[in-house]
Amino acid sequence: MEGNSYDTAFSDSDFTPQLDKLAELLEGSENVSGVYLDNPNNPTGKALDQEKLKTIIEVAQKKGILVVIDEAYGDFLTDEQSGMKYVQMFDNVLVVRSMSKGYGLARDRIGYALGNKDLIKGLSPIFVPFEPSEKSLVL
């Protein structure tokens, strides 16, 4: 889309995300509308540092920035490592999960999102190009 851009976050040579630097970037930015983080991190498979993640969410909320936490592999996280707890604490957090990884349902493309009521309402009109099969819905 015209006027939009995508920037990648910082990472060390071992691909560990630099969440402190991301929080600083958000503090000084006026043109960021969303932040996307995968947890556990791809490609390291490590859970995000929860204190640093919370800092990013706090900064983002002050600036009206949406934070999407993709937990496609969230079934392999402990409750403490998951970003789901932030859904109840903050209005700007959306956690998305897939049942294709931990439950082996890749063909069925079933997942879910957790967020505040307004964020979930905003997802409703989005057309999903890969609807689950009738068999998947029955199971």
Mean residue pLDDT of the chain comes to 86
Please give the average per-residue pLDDT across 82-86, as a whole number.
97
The domain segmentation of the chain, as residue ranges, is 19-138
The CATH classification number of 19-138 equals 3.40.640.10
pLDDT tens digits for 103-136?
676 666 678 899 999 998 888 777 666 666 676 6
The C-alpha atoms of residue 56 and residue 52 are separated, in whole angstroms, by: 6
Query: Between residues 139 and 48, which one has the greater pLDDT?
Result: 48
The C-alpha atoms of residue 15 and residue 27 are separated, in whole angstroms, by: 23
Q: For residue 15, give the DSSP letter.
A: -
What pLDDT is recorded for position 99?
A: 76
pLDDT exceeds cutoff 90 at 94? yes
- What are the DSSP E strand ranges found in the chain? 34-38, 66-71, 93-98, 111-114
What predicted TM-score, i.e. pTM, was given to this entire model?
A: 0.85
